Structures are given as C-alpha cells and as structure tokens.
Amino acid sequence: MRTLLLTRHAKSSWDDPRQSDFDRPLNARGERDAPAMAERFVRRGLPPPLLVSSTARRAWRTAQAFANALGIPERAIVAMPKAYHAVEDTLLDIVNTLPDDAATVMLFGHNPGISGFAYALCGATGEMATCHTVCLQLDVDRWADVGRGTARLLWEDFPKLH
C-alpha cells in the first residue's frame, strides 16, 4: 500500500514580465495559502511524507512551506528538475523511480501536467487549482508498479474550500 500526494504549487506572481517562468516567485496569496494548506495537511495526522519537488522557484517555495509545517528540514526535500512543467508520462517516470522505503510521497508540480497525472492515475479529478493537493491510495508494493488507473482518490483539498 502506497500513498501519493500530488500538490500543485501555490499562486505565483506575474509582476515582472521580464522574469523567466522558472524563476517566478509566489505572490502574496501564494505566500499566504501555502503555509495555511500545509497546516491543514498537518492536522490530518498523516505520517510525514517524502517531499519531492520541481526546482522551479514557485514549486520549491510551496514545498518549503509544507516541509516547515511538517518539521522536515529543507535539505530533505528531493529536488526533481524534470518535474518542471512535466507531462503525465514524465511524472509517472518520477513516481516509478521513487525509493520503496518511502510509503508516502508528496510531489509538487505544475499544471497542466500535475492535473493530468492525477486524472490518469485515478480518473476522479479535474483541473487542480493552485496549492491544490490530491491524496491517492495505491494498492501496489513498489513504486515501479504504479501505472495509469492504479490509484483511488482518498481526498482533495485546496484554498478556496476554506
């Protein structure tokens, strides 16, 4: 049994049109939403997951907020450059190579890939909003066994629900 949490980065800033997409920071709403959603996650009482994140600034900052709330040092976040704007197949490759000693993993990424990946795994989700997390249960022994249609949606949460 495995648990996969897919989280889209919090709301990013478009204030500087000269800034590269990769380097865009969170805006004020994103800086507020990421810690708030992280605290809601902590209140669920789940064991701390392995955190894996796109290295884009906005995704990494969202992962930092969750790490802080969970008491996980930032150095423990696994940097995954290929998660930046990854398509479903790339995200599946990432998941299939996760360490099997981690039963619960939270992956921070970007749309449209993260939403498409959630749909491919369980078929029960739509477009993920910013700072949206879906929790998926996978009845597999190894991460390498995860594939399309192998997950069941347990719950989802996002800022506008609150």
| Mean pLDDT, residues 92-102 taken together | 98
What is the structure's pLDDT at 125? 80
Q: What is the pTM assigned to this prediction?
A: 0.96
Among the residue ranges 50-59, 109-118, 121-130, the one predicted with the least confidence is 121-130
Residue 149 falls in which region: left (phi positive, over 0), alpha (psi -120 to 50) or beta: left
Judge whether 29 and 37 are in contact, CB under 8 Å: no
Taking all residues of the chain, what is their mean pLDDT, rounded to a whole number? 96
| Mean pLDDT, residues 118-144 taken together | 95
**160 token code pair:** 């506008």
Indicate the pLDDT class of residue 124, thresholds 50, 70 and 90: confident
Say whether 90 sits in a helix, a strand or coil.
helix
Q: In what order do the strands lie in the sheet with 133-138?
A: 78-79, 50-53, 104-109, 2-8, 133-138, 151-157
Indicate the pLDDT class of residue 47, thresholds 50, 70 and 90: confident
Domains identified in the chain and CATH numbers: 2-161 (3.40.50.1240)
Number of neighbouring beta carbons within 10 Å of residue 75: 7
| Mean pLDDT, residues 54-78 taken together | 97
pLDDT (tens digit, 9 = 90+) per residue, 16-38?
999 999 999 999 999 999 999 99
Percent helix / strand / coil, the chain, rounded to 5: 40, 20, 40
pLDDT exceeding 70 applies to what percent of the chain? 100
Residue 131 falls in which region: left (phi positive, over 0), alpha (psi -120 to 50) or beta: left
Distances (CA, A) of 133 to 15, 19, 142: 25, 27, 22
Alpha helices in 98-155, H assignment, sequence order: 113-122
Cα distance from N-terminal residue to C-terminal residue, the chain: 30
